[in-house]
Amino acid sequence: MITEKMILQGAGDVSLTAYIQEPSAEMPNMAKRPAVLVIPGGGYDFCSDREADPVAMPFLAQGYSAFVLRYSVKQAKQWPNPLRDAENALRVIRENAEKWDVDPGRIAAIGFSAGGHLAAALGVMGAQRPNALILGYPCILEEQPCIAAAHAPSLDGLVDAQTPPAFIFASSDDDCVPIRHSLRFADALDRAGVSFQMHIFDKGGHGFSTANHVVVPNQSNRDLQREDQAWVPMCAAWLNRIFGLDPIR
């Protein structure tokens, strides 16, 4: 595996960390690998470590190359700075697809909370659009304080037939980003005729990431349940199917 950190041009401290899996004659199906662009949350004030590398790793195990974007936050968060960062990251991945043995037509953007807003924005209005969206407890509506503070738009009204298929997960007891954000986006996808899969867990709160001991050091203080971890394998199976990678039906 090749690991590379690139500083991207942007309004803030913007970087893209690449985890590139090299081709092997023993794995001919992976001569050109699909990829995920991981966009952590953090309320547009920081990029959460809990939603960065710990999210990239399970997709590496599925044969994907992974890229973690740290985009413009804090004083540099004003829209459209973060969107330009995400567009630039996706452009860099596609421009280097040959060098990195990445399939440019099989790149998913996965975002959490405010990062979910950014991933969804990339999918509905980006100059560069991903081929699939994975949205974890995403902020969608501009009523959310962190979204309003960045002067970023609501996204449900921007969904169209060119929006990529989406996998959405959240918890119904999220008291930070209510599930109406996810439901409104899912409804917009449905009206546009865009394929999606959605899972709403009854418990989990906000920011549960992969919901394991790596990201939740003291689970006794979190209202989590074992089922919250299920989004990872369910999402991988969905994405493999969307990308036509899994011959098993």
Q: pLDDT tens track of the chain, all 249 residues?
A: 889 999 998 777 899 999 998 887 777 777 789 999 999 999 999 999 999 999 999 999 999 999 999 999 999 999 999 999 999 999 999 999 999 999 999 999 999 999 999 999 999 999 999 999 999 999 999 999 999 989 999 999 999 999 999 999 999 999 999 999 999 999 999 999 999 999 999 998 999 999 888 888 665 556 678 889 999 999 999 999 999 987 665
3-state secondary structure 21-79: CCCCCCCHHHCCEEEEEEECCCCCCCCCHHHCHHHHHHHHHCCCEEEEEECCCHHHCCC
Q: How far is the C-alpha of 125 from the C-alpha of 176, rounded, in Å?
A: 25
Q: CB 37: neighbour CB atoms within 10 A?
A: 24
∠ CA 50-112-229, rounded to 5°: 65
What does CATH list as the number for 2-242?
A: 3.40.50.1820
Domain coordinates of the chain in residue numbers?
A: 2-242
pLDDT digits (tens, 9 = 90+) for 5-16: 999 987 778 999
Q: How far is the C-alpha of 231 from the C-alpha of 104, rounded, in Å?
A: 25
Q: What is the pLDDT of residue 28?
A: 74
Q: How far is the C-alpha of 117 from the C-alpha of 93, rounded, in Å?
A: 20
Q: Find residue 112's DSSP bridge partners.
A: 136
Q: What is the pLDDT of residue 249?
A: 57
- With beta carbons less than 8 A apart as the criterion, state whether 24 and 30 touch: yes
Q: What is the pLDDT of residue 85?
A: 97
